[in-house]
Amino acid sequence: MLTMEEALKQSSAPIRFAAGEIVKGHVIEVRPKEVLVDIGYKSEGVISGNEFVDIKVVKVGDEVDVLIEKLEDKEGMVVLSKEKAEFKQNWDKILTNCNEGGRIAGKVKAVVKGGLIVHIGVEAFLPASQIDVMTPKNLAQFVGNTYEFKVVKINQERQNIVLSRRELIEAERTERRQKLLADMVPGDIRKGTVKNITDFGAFIDLNGIDGLLHITDMSWGRIGHPSEVLKVGQDIDVVVLDINKEKERVSLGLKQKMTNPWDAIETKFPVGAKVKGKVVNLVPYGAFVELEPGVEGLVHVTELSWTKRVAKPSDILKQGQDIEAVVLGINRDEQKISLGIRQLESNPWDNAEAKYPPGTRVKGKIRNLTSYGAFIELEEGLDGMIHVSDISWTRKINHPREVFKKGDEVEAQVLEVDKANQRIAVGVKQISTDPWEKIAQLYKVGDLVQGKVTKLASFGAFVGLQHEIDGLVHISQVSEERVDKIKNALKVGQDVNARVIKIDRSDRRIGLSIKAANYSQEQLKAEQAVLDSLKPGEDLVALQHAFDAADEAIKEEPKPE
């Protein structure tokens, strides 16, 4: 082995010994914490053991490049640095071979505040925002890995370098994106990775460009949210539906890889067929039933029952319920199927006319009362309606609650069956004989009768007689003395004796007189003549109006406390 002196003699270039110069030296001694090196100077140099990767493997005679820090310290020795020599050599090499904007490979050395330290021959800084397209949360995962970087900035004075990996990734993605856009055509099936999920769909990374997979193109069936089908990071095959090269947008589909279930819908679900399905959604106008993935039918609220008036589908059905239905209609173009549940049972109205012909006597309970009549339940799902005018032959009924209450069991007669409008008219008065047909046998002018005051009006009082017939006592017929207000003379519920002074069969009315209860025949004739001469509106000509007036008078009376 050549000595340093011999090596110097053979070297054509003289060695310059000065601080900051890099020279070659040979190890002459290895100590526990330092290494002595002969650089051919008048004294040996010393290098700290920390500058070697493993001081244990250093041997006497090893050649090493060193940088002269001081030619002589207080002990007369040369102070050397192996690391600074390497840094200066690498720095010069980097400046020679790499400029700002150039590419260089390096190994991630450590995590520091704001980014990573990368060894590229010298230590360079990689900001966290420049590590990847999306700033990673865990920087430690990159330590120990080797990547290629772009040199963003070189500061020679401070001898530091700033790198970027993100710019290279974006450049590569741009190149791949342009190639993908050029090569891709609608109908292609491409591999991709779910990058992000939103309420309206998912963005799929196609290794160079992101495509949108809309929620409506994920499945032929109903999907509440894309997360029901996909997960971030999932690898999937998608179909290219549309490409906008100018805006660099790609629309993707997943359901298009499968056959559209609506293509053979008439064969699978013919009209009239009985089908099974699950209730997937309830709305005010009906229920949506899934027959198979991608195929739903609508049961309209009117198709839930033949007889029940269903206010809302949720009164009968529940979401998730398995049901049977009948296919009523199919519109393949609009992808709509009409279903019915009531068609699973026979329509009771089909036999209503035969079962309840006019004249049939029926019994049932009062189910509901309205201002115009009462509804009696004939059977499950079939009601008959008793109009207020069909409750009594003789009495004027203003509201059915005057006679009935819910739950009352009544007997009635069928008057009419309207199948088209699903109505059955029944009457209570028709099961008895109209008393006015034999009124001549029941009452005659001059008869003395007993009754109870039922209503008061400004012009007189109504008195209930036998056979459910009402008579009217005009205010002038209450007393011999003048009566200004009828309520001062009579009370509702009061028992009175009266004389029949007028019978009008054609208009179905009876005139009574309380004051004439003790009259002679001559007096009765005279009183009847007075009644006949009353002005229009004061007589009994409009009994209907008299009843109406009586109702108004009752409404105006103060309610008892």
Average pLDDT, integer, range 184-190: 85
For the chain, the domain total comes to: 6
Range of the domain at 205: 184-257
Q: What gap in Å lies between CA 483 and CA 243, rounded to an integer? A: 97
**What is the b/e burial string over 457-485, where b = at least 16 CB atoms within 10 angstroms of the residue's CB?**
bebbbbbbbeeebbbbbbbbbbeeeebee
Which of 212, 65, 94 shows the shortest CA–CA distance to 162?
94
CATH of the domain at 380: 2.40.50.140
Q: Kindly indicate the confidence band of residue 177, based on its pLDDT and cuts at 50, 70 and 90.
A: confident
In a domain, residue 266? The reply is no
- What are 447-501's pLDDT values in tens digits? 888 999 988 888 899 998 888 788 899 988 888 888 888 888 899 999 999 988 8
| The pLDDT of residue 279 | 92
Q: Which helix (H) or strand (E) holds 63?
A: strand 63-70
- What are 32-81's pLDDT values in tens digits? 888 888 888 888 888 888 888 788 888 888 888 888 888 877 777 888 88
| The pLDDT of residue 190 | 87
The residue whose two tokens read 């198709």 is 303
Is 523 strand, coil or helix? Answer: helix
Average pLDDT over the chain reads: 82
Residues 382 and 449 in one domain: no
- Does residue 543 register a pLDDT over 50? no
Q: Which of 287 and 554 is assigned the larger pLDDT?
A: 287
Q: What gap in Å lies between CA 489 and CA 478, rounded to an integer? A: 8
Which of 375, 310, 379 shows the shortest CA–CA distance to 342?
310
Residues 139 and 197 in one domain: no
Structure tokens, 482: 């003048």
Please identify, among 119, 135, 169, the residue that sits at the C-terminal boundary of a domain.
169
Predicted TM-score (pTM) of the model is: 0.41
Residues 458 and 513 in one domain: yes
Q: What gap in Å lies between CA 558 and CA 285, rounded to an integer? A: 46
In a domain, residue 92? The reply is no
Strands in 440-525 per DSSP E: 448-457, 460-464, 470-474, 495-504, 509-513
